[in-house]
Amino acid sequence: MRRTINSYAQALLDIFYPRICLYCRRNINYSCDCYICSKCKKDISFINESHCIRCGAILGPYSLSSDKEGCVFCRSQHFYHDSLTAIAHYNGAIKELIHKYKYEKQRFLYKGINDLILANKKLEKIIQEIDIVVPVPLYWRKKLQRGFNQSELIAREIHRIFLKPLSVKNLIRIKNTVSQTKLSKSKRYANVRKAFFIKDPALVEGKRVLLVDDVLTTGLTMQECAKKLKETGVKSVHLFVLAIADYRS
Ligand SMILES: [Zn+2]
Ligand SMILES: [Zn+2]
C-alpha cells in the first residue's frame, strides 16, 4: 500500500519536476532510479576484456598481454601496482556524470556512480584477492572545499557491499597538488612526487590493497600512492578506477 502511494507521489513529482538524463537531457521514466537514460547508458564505452591488465591500454585482436609483463605499451615501464581494473572509458555520459559529481559538487550522484560500478562484474572477480580498500586521498583543504572525497565515496560503497576493511585515514596527501591535466608532461611527476604519507605502516604491512580512484588520467598519482604503499611493505596494490582517460598522450 505504502509502495503504491509512494509511486503516485513520485509520478506527480515527475509531472512537475521531470527527471532528465544529465547527458542528453531527455526525460527519464520515474520508475528508473537513475541519472542517465537507458539510451545513454547503452552508449557508455565499457572496457571489455581486450585491455591490458597492467596499464589498461586497449588491445587489438593480435596484441598480447600478460599480468606480469604487460602489453606493447607498458612492457618497458616499471610500475608499482600489480594490476589495474577500470570499468569504462572517460567520455560521453560517464565523463559528464563524473564532472558533475566532482566539480559541480553534486554529491548525490555518487549513487549513480556506485550503481555503474556494481552492475559491472569486474570488481567481484578481483575482490577475493583484496585485504583492505584504500581511496586515493585528497589534500585536506581540497576535501574541505569540495565537501567530500569522490574516491572515498566509491571505496566506502565497495567496503559496504563486499565487507572488506576500509582505510581512509592512513594514506594521506601531504602536498596540495594541482590537477595533473593542467600541467605539461614534464611537470606532472614533480607535482605528485612525495605527495603522500602513511601514518601507521603496521595497518597495511603485508596486505593486498585495492587502491580506489574515480578517474585514471596520467596514472602518476596512483603510481605515487602505490609506490608509497609498496615502500611501506604492502604485499600487492591493485588499482581500481571507474573510468580511464587516454593518458599516453
Ligand atoms: Zn540520455
Ligand atoms: Zn599494458
Give the model's pLDDT for residue 248: 53
Give the model's pLDDT for residue 249: 43
* Residue 76 Cα to ligand 2 middle (Å): 9
> Model pTM?
0.87
Distance from C-alpha of 192 to C-alpha of 40, rounded to nearest angstrom? 35
Q: Quick one: CA dihedral 136, 138, 144, 145, positive or negative? A: negative
Give the CA count within 13 Å in the CB-facing half-sphere of 172. 10
3-state helix, strand, coil in the chain (%, to 5): 40, 20, 45
Per residue in 45-78, is it b (16+ CB within 10 Å) or e — as a string? eebeeebbbbbbbbeeeeeebeeeebbebbeeee
* Residue 4 Cα to ligand 1 middle (Å): 27
* Residue 30 Cα to ligand 1 middle (Å): 14
pLDDT higher than threshold 80 for residue 5? no
Give the model's pLDDT for residue 170: 97
Distance from C-alpha of 140 to C-alpha of 137, rounded to nearest angstrom? 9
Average pLDDT of 235-248?
87
Average pLDDT of 99-122?
83
pLDDT tens digit sequence for 178-217: 887 778 877 888 888 889 999 999 999 999 999 999 999 8
Give the model's pLDDT for residue 37: 87
159: buried, middle or exposed (CB in 10 Å: 19+, 13-18, 0-12)? buried
Pull the grid cell for residue 102: 566532482
Sketch out the chain's domains with CATH numbers: 1-43 (no CATH), 46-244 (3.40.50)
* Residue 123 Cα to ligand 1 middle (Å): 25
The chain-wide mean pLDDT, for the chain, equals: 86
* 10 or 126, higher pLDDT: 126
